[in-house]
């Protein structure tokens, strides 16, 4: 029983406050927006990446962003608090639970004869201003001495810089690793890349000799490797000595023998180099795989090249070496 008018006012006030507090404590689970993520490698290192999620009507898409490089999902869904992004061409999937500004889950994909799972976490990305710390200039080309003797390898690297913001790529003889993004602050360099296939990180410190000393973590089952880098000077023979020549790194076992192949096509029918369709034509054979990021970059160029010269007798065949023998997964 209400004893006074004051009691009635107090109760009404409390009832009005309840939905207000509920609204303040509730967290939006809308996945749309830009997320700052981290994926954990087997070494324990966390590789930073950016995830951008967009809605258009009932359509949901996500992109793994590495500077100018964007890896787009082929499909997406958000049910309850669960986000699912498919990357069919990598046979991979991002599964995560969203709670307000927090995202936790894993990236799963087929790798060789096993399923590879990587733990991921992310938060809503907040734009940060340019660092006020003095940044040394490391833009340009570098030679990386990776690992220890006698298994040391020589790779190249190329960096571009705007203030403390840093972009670049690492270039083994087998092909570049795409664009890395990161920063240099107080002579400390951090570069990351996660594209769904690879999660890689390069960390180094610029020493008093002007060289970079640090590590590179290639993800997967590779060990963390020590790196010493020096600027590449084409006029200094010592700085380029030992760099492998990509023009001779991959070659025919017997160049005098014609290159022959015979493989099943996507329709199950055998395609051979001796088929009539290839006779008296220029034939380009591309060694590829759906798991290969560089091959995805090459494919549009091959398509453009084919459209330009097919009328003059050009044929292109892609020989894909896949992790599984299941055609539906290619």
Tokens at 197, concatenated: 């296939």
Report the alpha-carbon distance of residue 39 to residue 44 in Å, rounded: 10
Which of 97, 124, 151 is a domain's end point? 124
- Give the model's pLDDT for residue 255: 86
The CA-based diameter of the chain, rounded to the nearest angstrom, is 107
Length in residues, the chain: 330
Tally of structural domains, the chain = 3
Q: Please indicate, yes or no, if residue 26 is contained in any of the structural domains.
A: no
Please report which helix (H) or strand (E) contains residue 83, including its range.
strand 82-87
Give, in degrees to the nearest 5, the angle at Cα 154 between 292 and 236: 130
Is 40 within the bounds of a domain?
yes
> What pLDDT does residue 67 have?
92
Q: What is the pLDDT of residue 249?
A: 79
164-173 in b/e form (b: 16+ CB < 10 A) is bebbbbbbbb
239 band by pLDDT with thresholds 50, 70 and 90 = low
Both tokens of residue 256?
A: 């005098």
**Strand bridging mode 225-231 / 140-146:** antiparallel
Q: Does residue 5 lie within any of the structural domains?
A: no
Report the share of the chain in percent with pLDDT over 70. Answer: 85
How far is 49 from 147, CA to CA, in rounded Å? 25
Coil, strand, or helix at residue 15?
helix
* Residue 22 pLDDT > 70: no
| Cβ atoms of 109 and 116 closer than 8 Å | yes
CATH of the domain at 322: 3.40.30.10
Residues 233 and 156 in one domain: yes
Domain presence at residue 24: no
The span from the CA of 129 to the CA of 256, in Å, is 60
- Averaged pLDDT for residues 196-218: 94
pLDDT per residue as tens digits for the range 81-111:
999 999 988 889 999 999 999 999 999 987 7
Mean pLDDT, rounded, of the chain: 85
pLDDT-based confidence at residue 250 (cuts at 50, 70, 90): confident
- Same domain? 38 vs 96: yes
Residue 169 structural domain: 140-244
β partners of residue 212: 206, 229
Do 280 and 306 lie in one domain? The reply is yes
The verdict on 91 and 115 lying in the same domain is yes
Non-local (6+) Cβ contacts of 228 within 8 A are 144, 145, 211, 212, 213
Q: What is the pLDDT of residues 28-87, one digit of tens each?
A: 578 999 999 999 988 888 999 999 999 988 889 999 999 999 999 999 999 999 999 999
- Whether 39 and 47 have beta carbons less than 8 Å apart is answered as yes
End of a domain among 244, 278, 298?
Answer: 244
At residue 131, the pLDDT reads 57
Q: Within a domain: residue 27?
A: no
What's the CATH code of the domain at 184? 2.40.128.120
From 267, 265, 253, 252, select the one nearest 319 (Cα to Cα): 265
Comparing CA positions, the residue from 38, 231, 266 lying closest to residue 137 is 231
Q: What is the mean pLDDT of residues 137-149?
A: 93
Indicate if the pLDDT at residue 21 is higher than 50.
no
What pLDDT, in 10s, does the model give residues 155-186? 999 999 999 999 999 999 888 999 999 999 98
Query: Within a domain: residue 6?
Result: no
* pLDDT of res. 5: 44
Residue 216 within any structural domain of the chain = yes
pLDDT at 269 over 90: yes
* Domain-terminating residue out of 70, 95, 124: 124
Instruction: Examine the domain organization and report whether 180 and 239 are in the same domain.
Output: yes
């Amino acid at each position: 029983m209400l004893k006074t008018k004051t009691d009635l006012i107090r109760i009404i006030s409390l009832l009005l406050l309840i939905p207000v507090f509920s609204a303040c404590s509730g967290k939006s689970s809308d996945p749309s927006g830009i997320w700052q993520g981290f994926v954990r490698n087997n070494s324990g290192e966390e590789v930073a990446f950016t995830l951008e999620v967009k809605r258009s009507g009932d359509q949901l898409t996500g992109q793994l962003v590495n500077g100018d490089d964007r890896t787009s999902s082929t499909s997406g869904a958000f049910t309850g608090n669960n986000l699912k992004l498919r990357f069919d061409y990598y046979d991979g999937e991002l599964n995560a639970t969203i709670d307000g500004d927090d995202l936790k889950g894993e990236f799963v994909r087929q790798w060789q004869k096993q399923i590879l799972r990587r733990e991921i976490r992310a938060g809503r990305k907040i734009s940060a201003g340019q660092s006020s710390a003095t940044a040394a200039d490391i833009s340009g080309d570098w030679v990386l001495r990776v690992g220890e003797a006698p298994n040391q390898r020589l790779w190249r690297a190329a960096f571009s810089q705007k203030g403390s913001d840093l972009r670049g790529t690492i270039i083994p003889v087998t092909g570049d690793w795409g664009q890395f993004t990161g920063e240099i602050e107080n002579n400390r360099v951090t570069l990351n890349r996660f594209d769904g296939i690879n999660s890689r990180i390069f960390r180094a410190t610029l020493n008093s000799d002007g060289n970079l000393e640090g590590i590179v973590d290639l993800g997967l089952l590779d060990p963390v490797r020590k790196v010493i880098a020096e600027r590449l000077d084409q006029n200094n023979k010592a700085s380029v000595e030992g760099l492998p020549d990509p023009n001779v790194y991959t070659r025919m076992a017997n160049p005098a023998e014609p290159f022959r192949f015979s493989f099943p096509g996507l329709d199950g029918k055998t395609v051979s180099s001796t088929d009539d369709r290839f006779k008296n034509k220029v034939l380009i054979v591309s060694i590829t795989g759906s798991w290969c990021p560089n091959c995805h970059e090459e494919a549009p160029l091959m398509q453009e090249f084919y459209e330009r010269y097919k009328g003059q007798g050009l044929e292109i065949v892609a020989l894909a070496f896949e992790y599984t023998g299941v055609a539906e997964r290619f």
